[in-house]
Structure 1
Amino acid sequence: MDIHRRSSCRLLAGVLVAGSLAAGGAHAAGKGGAQPAPAAPAAAQVAPVFDMSPLPVTTGLMTQYILSPAGQLSGMLLADGTQVFFSHDLGEQLPAIARPGEQVSVNGLKGIGHPIVRAYAVTGPRGRRIADVRPPATAPMPVDSPSIGPDVPVDGTILAPLYDMQGGVQGVIMRDHSVVYVGEKNASRLVAWLKPGATLHAIGTGVTGDHGTAINAREIGPDVNQAIHVEPADAPPPGAFPGSAGYDVIPGGSSGD
């Protein structure tokens, strides 16, 4: 009986010692071991640089997005014919707050003599607001346009001239909401063909999708039989063609220049 009692006591003592060591190890790990990383704080929302409230407010029904030939949202058309242009950042955010057929409110500078607005803030129909967070650019960004890509044809009736941020005509908006870019030089040369109500055929590289159609015209005319070739608005400057003797010559780069 004494033998069994001593064995039980030894077993109980061993269990207590093991438990004590385990508890001590856990406590040490809690003090000096690796701690779980704290949750990262939510990214702070960037506030606009300027107060947009003093800017004139333009309110209207958006009828369509205005796309660049590369598919970027560069503006929107209101039901009264006003063309609203904005930065690339605002263009990326616009579909999240407003869609064609919805009312929008725009804080921006109104054009003099042209139905255009340079927007710095846009409020959608559900109260969501987007605004530029950078200072206004001193010069407009060039239209991002693909030099190569699939040809997209446009046929229909012209709704309105397409302006740029400086009030120059750079193409047309069609009644089917397609946008045709030709560049200011071509637009001034082809003014007789680019009048509202006129029929137009154009083909060029561009995009067509859920947000609309936009092309950089390479051929244009009242119809397919009268179409002429035009230099695309994004064509590179003239120079020596690839493989020619002067192709690799940089003007001003040689001692003889």
Structure 2
Amino acid sequence: MDIHRRSSCRLLAGVLVAGSLVAGNAHAAGRTGGQPTAAAPAATQIAPVFDLAPLPVTSGQLVQYILSPAGQIAGLLLGDGTQVFCPQDLGENLPAIARPGEQVSISGLKGIGHPIVRAYAITGPRGQRIADVRPASAPAPYDSPSIGPDVPVDGTVLAPLYDMQGKVQGAIMRDHSVVYVGESNATRLAAWLRPGASLHAIGIGVSGERGTAINAREIGPDVNQAIHIEPADAPPPGAFPGSAGYDVIPGSATAQ
């Protein structure tokens, strides 16, 4: 009987000791703020290379996207007439944070003498922000269609269309259509591209939910006065691919 009594006592003591250890560990965890193991953090988002905070901020209502003739968003027009240009990555993400009619804030470089801004970051009305993560690199060129349907544009010019260097390259119409003619054509056709002027143009481009944009091939005050021009994306003059002179370099011994 003594043996059984001693065994029972030892078993009871072991249970009490184990319980004390568990309680002690829980109390220690509570003192040190111990928490259950957290889930793995989400993947780190790419951050801008440079501090964008010192850049001037331009705010206003987004009136329309400025499309390229291929339908890509090359920028946006604000209610005060400011044209905001952005690299391709920023343009692709813009519809996800802001739509026409909403307020936006742009961190970017303001033009001198022209109502233009080169955007490096854009914040939408719900606090969502997109930023150029490669501000030191040159902006990627926008594609321009070489073939496609002819799109006519008829109406009144709202403002000259600038490029990122402040050069006029076409016109923005009051119906939000965008007409590209190229810098050299814009210089000689300046009277047709002034605000308030009537304009007819036709060329390859896009027309859809986001807007209309064309590379003009014919342009004039109306259809009866339209003239032919070289489109803004026309290839440089020279022999066509596959011809005998295509591989000849001007000025070389082969060309003489």
| TM-score, length of structure 1 as denominator length | 0.80
The answer to whether the 8 A contact 2:205-2:212 is kept is yes
The answer to whether the 8 A contact 1:152-1:204 is kept is yes
The Cα offsets for residues 152-195 of structure 1, whole Å up to 9 and x where unpaired, read as 11000000000011100000000000000000000001011111
Q: What corresponds to 2:223 in structure 1?
A: 224
Q: What corresponds to 1:14 in structure 2?
A: none
Q: What corresponds to 1:108 in structure 2?
A: 108
Amino acid at match of 2:237: P
Alignment of 1:1-40 (within 5 A): none
The Cα offsets for residues 227-248 of structure 1, whole Å up to 9 and x where unpaired, read as 0000011111111246754245
Amino acid at match of 1:232: P
Q: What corresponds to 1:162 in structure 2?
A: 161
Structure 2: gaps of 5 or more residues: 1-38
Q: Cα–Cα, structure 1 residues 246 and 93, in superposed 2: closer, same or farther, change >3 Å?
A: same
Alignment of 1:1-257 (within 5 A): 42-137=42-137, 139-241=138-240, 245-251=244-250
Q: Cα–Cα, structure 1 residues 248 and 255, in superposed 2: closer, same or farther, change >3 Å?
A: closer
The answer to whether the 8 A contact 1:158-1:195 is kept is yes
CA distance in 1, matches of 2:80, 2:248: 52
| Alignment size in residue pairs | 218
The answer to whether the 8 A contact 1:140-1:165 is kept is no
CA distance in 2, matches of 1:82, 1:124: 17
Q: Cα–Cα, structure 1 residues 251 and 83, in superposed 2: closer, same or farther, change >3 Å?
A: same
Structure 1: gaps of 5 or more residues: 1-38
Three-state SS of the structure 2 residue aligned to 1:170 is: strand
- Tell me how large the CA RMSD over aligned residues is: 2.0
Q: Cα–Cα, structure 1 residues 211 and 253, in superposed 2: closer, same or farther, change >3 Å?
A: same
Amino acid at match of 2:152: P
CA distance in 2, matches of 1:217, 1:187: 11
Q: Cα–Cα, structure 1 residues 255 and 189, in superposed 2: closer, same or farther, change >3 Å?
A: closer
CA distance in 2, matches of 1:243, 1:131: 43
Q: Cα–Cα, structure 1 residues 256 and 198, in superposed 2: closer, same or farther, change >3 Å?
A: closer
The Cα offsets for residues 106-148 of structure 1, whole Å up to 9 and x where unpaired, read as 10000000000001000000000011111333x5544421111
